[in-house]
Amino acid sequence: EKAEITKEQQAFMKVIVDSYNRHQIPQDVTKKLLQEQYSAEENFILLTEMATSQVQVLVEFTKNIPGFLSLDHEDQIALLKGSAVEAMFLRSAQVLSTKMPNGHTEVLEERIRNSGISEEFMTPMFNFYKSIGKLHMVQEEQALLTAVTILTPDRPFVKDHPAVERLQEPMLEVLRKLCALHHPREPQYFARLLGRLTELRTLNHYHTEMLTSWRMNDQKFTPLLCEIWDVQ
Ligand SMILES: CC(C)c1onc(-c2c(Cl)cccc2Cl)c1COc1ccc2cc(-c3cccc(C(=O)O)c3)sc2c1
């Protein structure tokens, strides 16, 4: 019946979830969050290192999404550039909402709150983090939601929308079934999950302003971040 996850959907999901678990920021990078001192300057430098490492992880994860590498090459770049910030909000939300055994949750929040981001962005950012936390997503949902976010057809400069939709649709279908499976008493859970994707879009705009205000204070980013965010 409709809700059953088929054999091929199971295999499809396994590829994405295994890739999501395989591609993580290396321990020697994330453990710095616990070690370095807490100045706004040091926090910004650490968060820049995390974001840079996260983009590298994201690229590797994306290359393993079935069908992604057969998309037009320019569209591949457009999808990565258009979804990087949203994927990183999802990743940092996961760290902030799951009490990480290694204490990353507390230190990450502290460093984000004291890294030169102006107050006006703190509220929407941490509201998002709270709303993601309340969903108590299982790992498969996190992996698929990230893949669905990356394969969003209407990113700037994407030429072949239908080709991206053809990849996103099966993932949305598996995600819908997963939600029914893992949250049987919440029939609206899938809809709430997709609602988070809308909230992510608004965070993109805030993030663009965050970048501008950081650059006004002459904060430096890495070459990879400059490339993905079209700065400097
Ligand atoms: C350039 C830098 C200052 C910046 O500019 N905007 C943002 C941003 C901020 Cl603030 C918030 C949301 C999105 C963005 Cl994009 C950032 C920092 O972005 C990141 C991106 C990913 C991760 C993953 C982490 C993380 C920690 C522990 C464990 C793990 C883990 O995966 O185990 C991951 S921290 C981290 C910081």
Ligand 1 binding pocket includes 64 (Cβ within 6 Å): no
Q: pLDDT by residue (tens digit) across 106-151?
A: 889 999 999 989 899 999 999 999 999 999 999 999 999 999 999 9
In eight-state DSSP terms, residue 204 is H
Ligand 1 binding pocket includes 57 (Cβ within 6 Å): no
What pLDDT score does 99 carry? 65
Q: Do 16 and 65 contact (CB within 8 A), yes or no? A: yes
Q: pLDDT by residue (tens digit) across 152-206?
A: 999 999 999 999 999 999 999 999 999 999 999 999 999 999 999 999 999 999 9
What pLDDT score does 88 carry? 97
Residue type, 155: R
How close is the Cα of 59 to the center of ligand 1, in Å? 15
CA 131 to chain centre: 15
Nearest CA to 127 among 203, 211, 228, 227? 203
How close is the Cα of 51 to the center of ligand 1, in Å? 5
Q: Whose CA is nearest to atom 15 of ligand 1?
A: 85
Give, in order, the Cα–Cα distances in Å from 143 to each of 53, 61, 62, 215. Answer: 18, 10, 11, 32
Query: Any idea what the Cα angle at residue 13 is, between residues 12 and 17, rounded to 5°?
Result: 130
Residues 74-106 as b/e (b if ≥16 CB within 10 A, e otherwise) read ebbebbbbbbbbbbbbbbbbbbbbeebeeebbe
Count of all residues that appear for the chain in the document: 232
Q: What is the pLDDT confidence band of residue 2, given thresholds at 50, 70 and 90?
A: low
Ligand 1 binding pocket includes 25 (Cβ within 6 Å): yes
Q: What is the pLDDT confidence band of residue 105, given thresholds at 50, 70 and 90?
A: confident
Query: Any idea what the Cα angle at residue 225 is, between residues 222 and 229, rounded to 5°?
Result: 140
Residue type, 29: V
pLDDT over 90 for what percent of the chain?
84
